[in-house]
């Protein structure tokens, strides 16, 4: 019973603070994941550009690819907590002690880190698309960029959504490391509640429950989004061209479409 | 003699040490339907893919109205004029039948959406796919997919259409619907190169039959010449194997 007492004590005293920490956790992880996704998509498109004939373009492309590879390897190969310290204090070092505002700094760190992972996810997603999709587009004269934009990326997005959701969930949890530079997110307030109330177990139990609620909600929402992207299994057959309102709904959930 | 639309001179294609096309000379005039036959591995599909630059030729040149397609023409503009229909359809899986036929028009030819839509509807009607404009490729049968793919190629208003074994991936009962579309297309005066194993189509529909063997054009002529009185032993043995089946 005393645990419940502890929890309710911590909550009544520090609940508002902890709740305000949720806002920063959510904001940083959402924006960080979205920017990371954009970085990943751009890198993925650049990495799959077919070999150009022009030698100058070829050299430029090789250099860009090399930079992307270094970026991916470095940011995947080091802990985000260390990256946070280096980016935050590195900025201060080079700007005579002036520091970045904390929440934007957190967003930058999470974005860059997530971008490195999603670059690899996107690359895998593009490789997994059937070669025929590229050839179909090429055969009617579409450029690499047009093909990517209209044909490949929409399919890649559907395929990588589970992995990107995973990154998002990881980010909700991993924003907790940003407390090392003092970002006031959920963990930061939970830790300060623990320190000030001496009710360590109760404080972190609250944080744990909130983290789980956040990730579980997000997982369910994204699962729903996946279903939406997948689209309906039904389509509308038009009875005749002269009477396009004569629609027949064909259910293809079981078996193939019926010939009407 | 009318002008050659496509002319292939001394085309050679090697994948590493494997020489698939040794020395191909080939041309087609406007309105002609040419069937390319031959056993698997003879280089038929590779030749077709070289013509559309899906494969880069190792040596030789490909001329489109007398212009070298690799040096004198922009690849995307050339490809827009030379349609291609694949064995595996290669429809865009994320788009429905109508969108499949519109995308190339709006992106490559810069047509307005209304114009592209009208054009797509026109050709989808010609291939009998109007009822299925809202269906995604995965919801269509093989024959239906191939008819949409033909409409997609036609919607670009190409001068030539290349068919790469368009019926090889289809159930026997669906082959007919695709072949009849191709036959009508041929009769309407479209210039077509058809790589096929459908001997009946080659014999009845095409103006000229090209027999390929071992990376070379072994024999060519009218269907009557090639099927009725083959000159080369390779042609004879290939045809006897096929016709006895």
Instruction: Give per-residue pLDDT as tens, A172-211.
Output: 999 999 999 989 999 999 999 999 989 999 999 999 999 9
User: What local confidence, expressed as pLDDT, does residue A245 receive?
Assistant: 45
- A239 contact residues in B (CB cutoff 8 A): 131
SS3 content of chain B, % helix, strand, coil (to 5): 40, 25, 35
Cα–Cα distance for residue pair B182/B185, rounded to 1 Å: 5
Asked if A139 lies within 8 A of B54 by C-beta distance, the reply is yes
Cα–Cα distance for residue pair B97/B112, rounded to 1 Å: 18
Asked if A239 lies within 8 A of B80 by C-beta distance, the reply is no
**Distances in Å between the alpha carbon of A26 and those of A103, A111, A226?**
11, 13, 21
Nearest residue on chain B to A235, judged by CA atoms? B135
Query: How does DSSP assign B130-160, residue by residue?
Result: GGGTT--GGGS-HHHHHHHHHHHHHTT--SE
Cα–Cα distance for residue pair A131/A50, rounded to 1 Å: 13
Interface test with B, best of A140, A152, A249 (most B CBs within 10 A): A140
pLDDT band at A2 (very low <50, low <70, confident <90, very high): confident
Instruction: Give per-residue pLDDT as tens, B109-138.
Output: 999 999 999 999 999 999 999 999 999 999
Which tokens sit at A177?
A: 């490391």
Give, for B195, the enclosing helix (H) or strand (E).
strand B191-195
Domains (range + CATH), chain A: 2-232 (1.10.3720.10)
- The residues on A that touch B, with CB distances below 8 Å, are 132-133, 135-143, 146, 150-151, 154-155, 158, 231, 233, 235-239, 241, 252, 256-257, 259-260
SS3 content of chain A, % helix, strand, coil (to 5): 75, 5, 20
Cα–Cα distance for residue pair B190/A102, rounded to 1 Å: 66
**Rg, Å, chain A Cα set:** 24
Cα A122 to its chain centre, rounded Å, is 11
Cα–Cα distance for residue pair A183/A194, rounded to 1 Å: 17
Q: How many CB pairs under 8 A join A and B?
A: 97
> Nearest CA to CA, how far is A256 from chain B (Å)?
6
Angle of helix A153-174 relative to helix A2-47, nearest 10 degrees, comes to: 150
ipTM of this predicted structure: 0.90
Cα–Cα distance for residue pair B111/B117, rounded to 1 Å: 9
Cα–Cα distance for residue pair A232/A54, rounded to 1 Å: 45
Angle of helix A153-174 relative to helix A200-230, nearest 10 degrees, comes to: 170
Asked if B94 lies within 8 A of A155 by C-beta distance, the reply is yes
- B90 contact residues in A (CB cutoff 8 A): 132-133, 135-136, 139
Percent of chain B with pLDDT over 70: 98
Of B77, B133, B134, the CB nearest to A141: B77
In 3D space, the residue among B157, B150, B76, B73 whose CA is nearest the CA of residue B111 turns out to be B157
- B79 contact residues in A (CB cutoff 8 A): 138-141
Please list, residue by residue across B176-189, b when 16 or more beta carbons sit within 10 angstroms of its beta carbon and e when fewer do.
Answer: ebbbebbeebbeee
Q: How many CB atoms lie within 10 A of CB B60?
A: 16
Which tokens sit at B80?
A: 């827009």
Of B92, B136, B141, the CB nearest to A151: B92
- Token pair 């297309």 in the structure block, residue: B185
- Three-state secondary-structure class, residue B83: strand
Residue A257 pLDDT exceeds 50: no
List chain B residues with pLDDT less than 50.
Answer: 1
In 3D space, the residue among A184, A208, A192 whose CA is nearest the CA of residue A27 turns out to be A184
- A233 contact residues in B (CB cutoff 8 A): 139
Burial status of residue A175 (CB atoms within 10 A of its CB: 0-12, 13-18, 19 or more): buried
User: What local confidence, expressed as pLDDT, does residue B51 receive?
Assistant: 95
In 3D space, the residue among B46, B62, B48 whose CA is nearest the CA of residue B14 turns out to be B46
User: What local confidence, expressed as pLDDT, does residue B193 receive?
Assistant: 96
Nearest residue on chain B to A158, judged by CA atoms? B94
Which tokens sit at B145?
A: 């997919």
Asked if B78 lies within 8 A of A141 by C-beta distance, the reply is yes
pTM of the predicted model as reported, rounded to 2 decimal places: 0.83
* φ, ψ of residue B26 in degrees (nearest 5): -160, 145
DSSP, res B230 = -
pLDDT band at A243 (very low <50, low <70, confident <90, very high): very low
Interface test with A, best of B71, B77, B85, B93 (most A CBs within 10 A): B93
- B132 contact residues in A (CB cutoff 8 A): 235, 237, 257
pLDDT band at A246 (very low <50, low <70, confident <90, very high): very low
Average pLDDT, chain A: 87
Residue A247 pLDDT exceeds 70: no
User: What local confidence, expressed as pLDDT, does residue B245 receive?
Assistant: 56
- A154 contact residues in B (CB cutoff 8 A): 94
């Amino acid at each position: 019973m005393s645990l419940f007492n502890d929890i309710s004590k911590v909550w009544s005293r520090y609940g508002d603070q902890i709740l305000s920490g949720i806002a920063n956790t959510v904001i940083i992880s959402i924006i960080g994941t979205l920017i990371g996704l954009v970085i990943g998509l751009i890198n993925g498109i650049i990495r799959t550009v077919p070999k150009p004939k022009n030698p100058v373009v070829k050299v430029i492309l090789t250099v860009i690819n090399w930079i992307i590879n270094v970026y991916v390897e470095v940011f995947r190969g080091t802990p985000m907590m260390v990256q946070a310290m280096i980016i935050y204090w590195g900025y201060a070092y080079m700007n005579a002690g002036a520091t970045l505002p904390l929440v934007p700094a957190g967003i930058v760190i999470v974005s860059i880190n997530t971008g490195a992972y999603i670059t690899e996810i996107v690359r895998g997603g593009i490789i997994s698309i059937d070669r025929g999709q590229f050839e179909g587009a090429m055969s009617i004269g579409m450029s690499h960029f047009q093909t990517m934009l209209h044909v490949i990326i929409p399919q890649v997005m559907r395929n990588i959504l589970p992995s990107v959701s995973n990154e998002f969930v990881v980010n909700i949890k991993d924003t907790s490391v940003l407390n090392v530079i003092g970002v006031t997110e959920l963990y930061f307030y939970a830790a300060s509640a623990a320190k000030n109330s001496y009710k360590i177990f109760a404080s972190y139990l609250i944080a744990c429950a909130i983290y789980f609620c956040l990730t579980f909600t997000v997982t369910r929402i994204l699962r729903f989004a996946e279903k939406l992207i997948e689209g309906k299994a039904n389509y509308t057959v038009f009875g005749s061209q002269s009477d396009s309102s004569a629609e027949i709904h064909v259910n293809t959930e079981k078996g193939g479409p019926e010939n009407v | 003699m009318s002008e050659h639309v496509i002319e292939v001179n001394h085309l050679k294609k090697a994948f590493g040490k494997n020489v698939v096309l040794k020395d191909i000379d080939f041309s087609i005039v406007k309105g002609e339907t040419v069937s390319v036959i031959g056993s698997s591995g003879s280089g038929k599909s590779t030749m077709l893919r070289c013509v559309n630059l899906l494969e880069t030729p190792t040596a030789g040149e490909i001329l489109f109205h007398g212009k070298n397609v690799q040096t004198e023409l922009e690849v995307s503009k050339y490809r827009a004029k030379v349609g291609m229909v694949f064995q595996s359809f290669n429809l865009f899986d994320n788009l429905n039948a109508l969108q499949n036929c519109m995308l190339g028009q709006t992106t490559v030819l810069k047509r307005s959406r209304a114009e592209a839509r009208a054009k797509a509807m026109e050709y989808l009607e010609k291939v009998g796919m109007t009822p299925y404009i809202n269906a995604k490729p995965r919801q269509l049968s093989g024959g239906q997919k191939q008819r949409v793919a033909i409409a997609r190629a036609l919607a670009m208003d190409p001068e030539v259409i290349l068919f790469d074994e368009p019926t090889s991936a289809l159930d026997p009962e669906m082959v007919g619907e695709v072949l009849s579309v191709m036959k009508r297309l041929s009769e309407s005066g479209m210039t077509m190169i058809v790589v096929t194993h459908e001997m009946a189509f080659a014999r009845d529909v095409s103006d000229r039959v090209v027999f390929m063997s071992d990376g070379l054009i072994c024999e060519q002529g009218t269907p009557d010449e090639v099927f009725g009185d083959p000159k080369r032993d390779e042609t004879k043995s290939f045809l006897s194997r096929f016709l006895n089946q």
